[in-house]
Structure 1
Amino acid sequence: MTPIESVLSVGLMDVEENQAGNQVKLMDSFGGIQEVVPVVGLGDNTWQEVKPTYSSSPADVYVVRVDIVDSGAITSLVFCQGDETAPPTPAPSLSAMPSGPILGSITGTVLEDTNNDNIGDVGQPGVTVTLLDESGSTLAVTTTDSEGIYTFFNLPVGTYSVVQTNEPFFVDVTDADGTIGGTGTGSDTDSTILGITLTPGENKTGQDFVDELQTEAPTKAPTSSPTASPSESSQPSNFILGSISGSVSEDTNNDNVGDSPLANVPVMLLGDDGSVLATTTTDSNGDYIFSGLPLGTYSVMQTN
């Protein structure tokens, strides 16, 4: 086994902020610890560099081990190779790289367009966002924070989709796989970002949605003299929208009747072609609702 002459730095990403127990260990060829460097995490979406102080002799260091308690990923290891001091072994007893896959993340925002310029202006908190795998199965459900930000952590290599559930009376403007303010093929108002591909340890950002409140057409000012027929209708000019609601409950006594409500159960709204239109979760009473729906045929799917 060849010693590592000098470990210059270890690059880390997404280490939990202020989490005790995170550390980098410099070890000898027998697995003995030569030096322990504590790691003070800087939080999600933050890269940091850890540098040893070398209280021990660099010639004694053969293995670098990184212990992460909660979440995080190794992004780089910079070192100088020493001279070979012993015959090579068929396989190393310890690895300088983590044994499991390096995981990544997907993050974005849900923004409101407040001035009708097709650009997001302020974050929407509490919006439901669902992560789907390549087959369309639900992997996770989360909600945006106070700034409209959402994140899905600990994701292996793969292709994903993200679906946003519009808040009541909000409609889509655009999302990350379309063009803001686009028309025709550039229009993207399906509340879904498709084909998000992650490589090992990749933290994909910018997966954003922009919505706006529905508005009714303004009425004209009254004329000074009566007309033979009214010039404006008292009803809004756009479609009158509907909703679909229901509940999810548990049958506790096996009589095929729901007895107690189930909270936080993911429920998906599907279009006539089976595509996912929206996703929500049941409230504390087991109730769910999909609002702002035009005329059409829908299906509702509950995820157990």
Structure 2
Amino acid sequence: MSDLSNFSISLPEQVTFTFTNPGLTFGNPSYLDINVSGGTVLDGSYDAHCIDTDRPLSLGKTYQAKVFSSYETLPPELLGTGNIEQPQNFDLINWIINQNFVGKTAANGQLFTYGDVQRAIWTLIDDINSTSRLGGWNQTRTNQILALAQANGEGFIPTFEYTTIFGENIIGKLGVILAPDGTNDGILNPDAQIIITEVKLSKIGNFVFNDINGDGIQDEGEDKIVGVTVNLLADVDGNGVIENGEVIQSSVTDADGKYHFEVVAGNYKIQFEQPQDFSEISPRLAGIDTTQDSDGLISDVITIKPGEYDPTIDAGFYNNTGIIGDRVWFDNDGDGIQDQGENGINGVLLKLINNDTGETIATDITEGDGEYLFDSLPQGNYTIMVDPSTLPGNLQQTADSDGILDGMSTVNLPAAQSNLNQDFGYQQLGTIGDRVWFDQDRDGVQDEGENGINGVTVKLLDATGNIVATTLTGNNPNSSTLEEGYYAFTNVTPGDYRVMFVQPDGFNEVSPFQAGSNSALDSDANPANGLMSNLFTLAPGEINSTLDAGFYNCGPCVFEISNGFSGTNIKVQISMEEIEGGVKFTVTETDPNLIGDIRGLFFHINDESLLKQLKVNGSDITDYEFKANSVQDLGNGVNMNGDGNIHKYDIGIEFGTQGISQDDIQSTTFIISHKTVELNVEDFLNQEFGVRLTSVGQPNSREQSSKIFGYSPEDCCDSIFSNSLLAMNPIAI
């Protein structure tokens, strides 16, 4: 905030003006519009207000007037009865003229008028209040303006950028007093009405920079200089010349190297004090762009008019010695180029070595955006070395200024030159893991208590399917307790990958693929894609610990049927087990109360196209037939009819011969295979099975027979099937 009392010396001593009343032709409606002439910086049109009602102004007359700031100490001739009677209220009046009341809504719902504003000003500054030439006005609205001014305007000083109580962003205004000399006799004691004029503030700035190459132009990469003292000069002694010592205000450049002064219209110079760490002053007014050049230690005279902002007064400084820099950065895409959005690496120590002596002559630590700088360097040969111990972990170097990725670069520095091309790029490497586990409940989700599996081979593949790395699961190295089944691929270059799991020995089933909603706990080994995960992208520095695989073991698929539809009910257990070359079936009569002779087994296959090339082999087999949905009677009493509905199957197999004296088979085993296709248990799941038994009964009386049927389960390793023996005889795995 400026000390506006200092700026009265910049105002012209005298101006010529004419006026109109009311002031409706310029700016906001006001009591007066005035037009200032005379060849000064105040030439122009302004809104104005009457200060003293005791003296007249004559329409159509041209006046000469003395000029004063409402914030300066006024001469006694302007004060007292019949003149300016309450100068202590100029802060409140300045507050009022900066609010732009006219046209805004008052508390009573009406709009403020210029008459309301003028009445408020007379109340604050004069001993007499008039109603002459006020247009529409209202004492209630005037009282509201006065109350707001007294609540908000004490000690008010306008600023160049100002927000009114109505939320408008404006250029702040200074009340400038014009004291007319009604007889043009040059006597200060006025014989015409004193007025206060709304004059917009002005602003001067802008920037002090490190002119690295000393050309006097702000070039890309040339940084700000913070803390430089900047002085505002004006013609303090009034001799018509702005001299070096005539300082009316001082400032220092901020964190962005910028400064500004808020001023009243007038003539000024800007003076820069040379910063201690810079030996040279940039050439003055080099180039043609005034926004980019240096104005030297002292600028030319700046004539600034009301409301203007001149952001072109800059200064450059440099050293006659050279500098070396520039940046250590995260090269996210590994292309060795500093792309937009690739951040610097802060906190990295760099050493500067004099190649002639081998000594480290300077060190610097990156800051800001990974930037470093070695300055004040004489010409010579240097090496810049990155201290690798200060780099973050999991990085690989991708860029080095001399093309050798060794964290060092050699520079031949000429006298007074800059080399800001010494950049070092590093790509953040990632980690991929995490676990292979025994999925006991086969739900595809890692549950508490489900152990890991050590020794499982895990492969990392790139997007084209090439194997990048291979590892084995083992104990979690980051855990103090025994946690098995963990793996990790570390220091992985960002990119697209898949993880492939090799099914461990002793486990013949894979968990459901990506079951559940938690990617950190599901299984990513896709049975339909060679136990590989989906393709995923590893970002720079990412730790992806969501690539897991679950395995479990299913023994023989065992189920029981006992639904009799003809003869005596009896229980039979059927076991299916995958073996090399086919599926091994074991059929066993398991009823605790009855004995029966197993004569035939009938069942379906899921894919009927396999029937033509099926083969069956078993020592007890005496006949068989394969025909889709057609097999129901093999002869010799081996059939599946008798309940009014003939049960027809794809496959029928006869065992032994009829009669208890011929064969007595309570259990039999056979193998079904295919000439070209490897069969598995799934080929026979969720299908109807039927068994024909003869010689059924007690050991001493076996004259009955049985025809029973039931169904194989949908999934032998999932839910317990309703007619399965798994609930009673769980299979150890």
TM over 0.5: no
Select the structure that is richer in strand: 1
Q: Work out which structure has the larger RCO, using CA pairs closer than 8 Å and 6 or more positions apart in sequence.
A: 1
Select the structure that is richer in helix: 2
TM-score, normalised relative to structure 2: 0.20
